[in-house]
Amino acid sequence: MILGVMIIPPLPTPFDSKGYLDSEAFRALAQAVEPHVDGLLFYGSNGEGVHLSKDERRAGLAAQSPTKPVWVGLMEETLAQAQVALEEAAALGARSLVTPPRYYESQLGTEGFLNYYRTLAETGKGEIWLYHVPQNTKVQLPLPVIAELSKHPGITGIKDSSGDLARMAFYASQKLSLELYTGSAPNFLGALALGAKGGIMAVANLAPKPYKMLLSAWQAGKIAEAQALQNRLEPFGRGLAAGGVVLLKQALRHLGLPGGYPRPPYGAESPAWASFKPILEEFRAEGWTVA
C-alpha cells in the first residue's frame, strides 16, 4: 500500500507527576495533535514504550481512537515478547515499527536479524516497518540486512532516525520496496532530496505546520523556499533532539498541552530547556505550534 501521509509525530506517553500512566492525558494529547498531522506513532522513539508494563501498554493503546494512519513502536528483545506487542498493534489497525533485539545483539548475527523480522512479518498481523534508531537502541541495522528484508511482502517501510543520510541514499538508490521516512528533523530537507517521503519526527508534536510547509514547497519544486524553511527550522530540530523526551514533555506542558511527565528516574525538567524555550516561543508567535 502506498501511503499519502507525510508528517507524523512520535507521540509521547504522559505520566502524572508521581510516575503513573495517565491514559486520559494520553488520549487528550493524541486528539489535540492529530488534526495537525498526517498520522500518529505511539510508543516510538519519544513514546517511552519501553517504560511500560505489558498491562499499561495495552491500556494506553485502548484509550486511543485515531482516525488517521497509525504506527506502534515495538521494541522487544525476543519473538515471544514481540508477538504479544504485535497483536496489540494489530488490534488498533496499526503498522508495527520494529527495532531489533539489543541486549545480546552481538550474538544475533545476520540470521538472527532476518529471522526476527521475517517471523513477525509472517504472522500477518499488520505491516511491519523497520525502525533504525541507534541513538537509543545502540544497535546498527546493517544495510544488506535491510535490503534483504525489503523483499518480504509483509515488510513495507522504514523509519530511519539515525540522521545518517548515506543510509537514506542507499535505500533510494537500491529502489527498496519500502516506504522511506526519516526520524531526523535537523537535516529534513536532505532526507527528502535523497528520497524520503516524509518524517516521523518529535518536532511534529510541537510544530508540524512549518515542516508541512517545507514538504509542500519541496514537492512543488520551490527549492529556495524549502531551503529557507530548512534553515529556519534547523535550530528547532537540533535543540529538541538535544533534550529528547524530557524536553519534549516540558515543551508540551509549556504550550498548555497534556504532555505529562517522564517516568522516574527521568526528571521533569531538561537542561536544554533554557536554550530551547526562546525558539519555541518564536515558533508560537509565528502561529506554527499546535497550541
Question: What DSSP line would sit under 128-180, residue for residue?
Answer: EEEEE-HHHH-----HHHHHHHTTSTTEEEEEE-S--HHHHHHHHHTT-SSEE
Min separation Cβ 79 and a second copy, Å? 5
d(CA 12, CA 46): 5
Min separation Cβ 61 and a second copy, Å? 18
Identified catalytic residue from 117, 131, 211, 261: 131
Min separation Cβ 121 and a second copy, Å? 13
Q: Is 159 a catalytic residue?
A: yes
Identified catalytic residue from 125, 159, 197, 212: 159
Nearer to a second copy, 59 or 193 (CB): 193
d(CA 43, CA 68): 16
Nearer to a second copy, 32 or 137 (CB): 137
Q: Is 277 a catalytic residue?
A: no
Nearer to a second copy, 260 or 262 (CB): 262
200 annotated as ligand-binding? yes
Min separation Cβ 8 and a second copy, Å? 20
Cα-Cα end-to-end distance for the chain: 33
d(CA 144, CA 233): 33
Q: How far is CA 91 from CA 87, 127, 202, in A?
A: 6, 12, 25
d(CA 19, CA 158): 32
287: CB partners within 8 A, 6+ apart: 209
3-state secondary structure (DSSP) of residue 125: coil
Task: Please state whether beta strands 10-11 and 40-42 pair in parallel, antiparallel, or not at all (unpaired).
Answer: parallel
Contact criterion met (CB below 8 Å) for 9 and 33: yes
Min separation Cβ 65 and a second copy, Å? 26
Nearer to a second copy, 103 or 281 (CB): 103
Annotated binding site for pyruvate: 200
Annotated binding site: 200
Residues forming the active site: 131, 159
